[in-house]
Amino acid sequence: MASREPLGYVIDNSTPTRVRFVATDPPPPGDFVLVGEGEGVLALVEAVGTRSVSMSALSGVYEPSIVARLSRMSNDVFFECVAEVVGVYRDGALVLPRRPPLPGEPVYRAPDELLSEIFGGSEPYKVRLGVLAARPTVPVYIDVNKLVTRHLAILAVTGAGKSNTVAVIADRLVRIGGTVVILDFHGEYVGSDIGGGVNVVEPLLNPRSLSLSELLVLLGIEPHYYHQERVLRRAYERAIADPSGPFLERLLKAVESLRGKEEPRAVAAVANKVEALVEKYGDVLRDDVPDVISRLRPGRANVIDLGRLDEDAADVVVSHVLRRLLAERKRRVMTGHGFPSPVMVFVEEAHILAPRDRSTLSKYWMARVAREGRKFGVGLAIVSQRPKVIDQDILSQMNSKIVLRIVEPSDQRYVREASELLSEELAQNLSALNTGEAVVLGPIVPVPVIVRVDKYWGRKGGADPDVVSEWLSMREERARAAEAVAELAELARSG
Ligand SMILES: Nc1ncnc2c1ncn2[C@@H]1O[C@H](COP(=O)(O)OP(=O)(O)OP(=O)(O)O)[C@@H](O)[C@H]1O
Ligand SMILES: [Mg+2]
């Protein structure tokens, strides 16, 4: 099944999981080879380096004039490659061989048809992500059930193609009937065509539906302010029990009614904070808005626009959505009522919402979704350009990862610690990836693979702004205005 001519030959020190081979015309990193005769062992090329026949023989001879002379010798250069063994493909599964390949065994380029069978697929159980970066003729599909039930992290430096990846996956999920929620920090997806046009959900919350913890964050009552927390808890219970009138007004009244019964400074502080809350978030917290879950449309991409919120408010909205989704999906599974569709939630700027060094509500609810979401059909995809700032637990619970270009070694190390499938050799490719290219790992793909993600074909707000043309058109505008002024002055003078 392999093409006739071997690319190269196995050398010494190979192991059952790692093949070292030499080649004169090497495959690019990210490509696949078949090792040995017969059906062959499939392996992913992770590293390719140059060698010189003469310099290997005369090791240590680096005198420039000798090197220059050697460089003119023909057939002096060859390549040494390292490939990670992926397995023998048999009956739709990859089985790891027990013995290492023997030195001298031939290495072939893996045929397109074999790779298409392994990485391809068809909707609706699989959706297309892109093509093999080293072999654009081979499409790569991802497993939808595993995507939703085992969660995903999309990581890369800024501008490497994270939002594009979100758009591609979200669009394809909606087109197979899926429900998507995108928590959009920069109003980036608001006007997009994802899934045939998105349902924009304003980040309005009914204060009555807020939990006590959510109110504590919004009010800025930190965990060690015991007295204030106690005042709020008592007032909250009273306000919740009384359905008449606007909730925050009743909450304030309930706080006031605790004067003389609770620590006076705590009562005054909480009263001030509730008043400040009304002033600051009055347009986000409204008694007339229905529960956020009832504003989500099944079978669509729902974009919750967090653009105008500060980080605390975004934390409350995101955690509220996750908490309510999980509860409504649980209710659906247990009672047949509740949110009708399994849902995939994408959270941009995950390092702000689930930071390593602080506890936030969103972090707590992301961890809950990561643990319990699979039973109830709530999938989570976190997106970030600062992986090392994300909580390590949450990052490792995102079982699948799409890692686009990452340059900083400390970020690479952090991602590697959270992903057992990311070998050191594969991680070394991360800084050399082009825009849109990604190492994809975890249950969504049969084996780790380097993919060129498709470019989202529709309208998405995420493209880099064309700064120069904005400046040019402003300059033209100014020139036109100056001309108009000059014309008017001329008219005034002549008239
Ligand atoms: N797979 C791709 N193929 C071709 N172009 C791409 C691809 N992915 C992204 N691009 C282009 O690269 C630019 C940046 O992409 P994108 O907005 O997705 O990056 P990002 O990682 O989300 O950046 P940020 O960190 O700023 O949010 C865009 O102009 C986009 O069109
Ligand atoms: Mg982005």
- The pLDDT value recorded for residue 71 is 77
In this structure, which residue's CA is closest to atom 1 in ligand 1? 436
Q: Determine the distance separating the centroid of ligand 1 and the alpha carbon of 457, expressed in angstroms.
A: 12
Tell me the C-alpha distance between 36 and 102, whole Å: 9
- Closest approach atom of ligand 1 to CA 462: 17
Tell me the C-alpha distance between 406 and 155, whole Å: 8
Q: Determine the distance separating the centroid of ligand 2 and the alpha carbon of 1, expressed in angstroms.
A: 42
Q: Determine the distance separating the centroid of ligand 2 and the alpha carbon of 28, expressed in angstroms.
A: 28
Q: Determine the distance separating the centroid of ligand 2 and the alpha carbon of 54, expressed in angstroms.
A: 49
Tell me the C-alpha distance between 407 and 421, whole Å: 19
Tell me the C-alpha distance between 83 and 234, whole Å: 63
- The pLDDT value recorded for residue 328 is 96
Q: Determine the distance separating the centroid of ligand 2 and the alpha carbon of 193, expressed in angstroms.
A: 16
Range scoring the smallest mean pLDDT among 122-131, 268-277, 280-289, 378-387? 280-289
Prediction pTM value: 0.88
pLDDT at 164 over 80: yes
In this structure, which residue's CA is closest to atom 12 in ligand 1? 161
Pocket test for ligand 1, best of 163, 402, 408, 439 (most atoms within 8 A of CB): 163
Is the CB of residue 455 below 6 angstroms from any atom belonging to ligand 1? yes
CA atoms within 13 A on the CB side of 234: 19
Which residue bears the tokens 């490497």?
160
For residue 178, the one-letter residue type is G
Chain-centroid distance, C-alpha 273? 35
In this structure, which residue's CA is closest to atom 5 in ligand 1? 455
Portion of the chain with pLDDT greater than 70, in percent: 98
Rg of the chain (C-alpha set): 29
Q: Across all residues in the chain, what is the average pLDDT?
A: 92
- The pLDDT value recorded for residue 92 is 86
Is the CB of residue 163 below 6 angstroms from any atom belonging to ligand 1? yes
Beta bridge partners of 382: 153, 347
Tell me: the pLDDT tens digits for 118-134?
999 999 999 999 999 99
Model confidence band, residue 113 (pLDDT cutoffs 50, 70, 90):
very high
Model confidence band, residue 474 (pLDDT cutoffs 50, 70, 90):
confident
Tell me the C-alpha distance between 392 and 394, whole Å: 6
pLDDT at 314 over 80: yes
pLDDT at 2 over 50: no
- The pLDDT value recorded for residue 305 is 93
Q: Which pair of tokens denotes residue 393?
A: 């637990």
Comparing CA positions, the residue from 57, 82, 80, 86 lying closest to residue 70 is 57
Tell me: the pLDDT tens digits for 238-253?
998 988 889 999 999 9
- The mean per-residue pLDDT over the stretch 352-362 comes to 93
pLDDT at 69 over 90: no
Q: Determine the distance separating the centroid of ligand 2 and the alpha carbon of 111, expressed in angstroms.
A: 35
Model confidence band, residue 464 (pLDDT cutoffs 50, 70, 90):
low
- The pLDDT value recorded for residue 27 is 93
Integer CA distances (angstroms), 141 to 67, 121, 126, 129, 264, in order: 47, 6, 6, 5, 62
pLDDT at 4 over 90: no
Tell me: the pLDDT tens digits for 419-437?
988 988 889 889 999 999 9
Contact 417, 392 (CB under 8 A): yes
Q: How many helices (H) and strands (E) does the chain have?
A: 16, 18
- The mean per-residue pLDDT over the stretch 92-102 comes to 91
Contact 303, 200 (CB under 8 A): yes
CA of 160, nearest ligand number: 1
Coil, helix or strand at residue 309: coil
φ, ψ for residue 157, nearest 5 deg: -65, 165
Tell me the C-alpha distance between 222 and 465, whole Å: 39
Model confidence band, residue 461 (pLDDT cutoffs 50, 70, 90):
low
Which residue bears the tokens 């290495």?
107
- The mean per-residue pLDDT over the stretch 376-392 comes to 96
Is the CB of residue 159 below 6 angstroms from any atom belonging to ligand 1? yes
pLDDT at 59 over 80: no
**Percent of the chain as helix, strand, coil, to the nearest 5:** 40, 25, 35
Portion of the chain with pLDDT greater than 90, in percent: 73
More confident residue, 152 or 466: 152
- The pLDDT value recorded for residue 58 is 79
pLDDT at 13 over 60: yes
- The pLDDT value recorded for residue 151 is 97
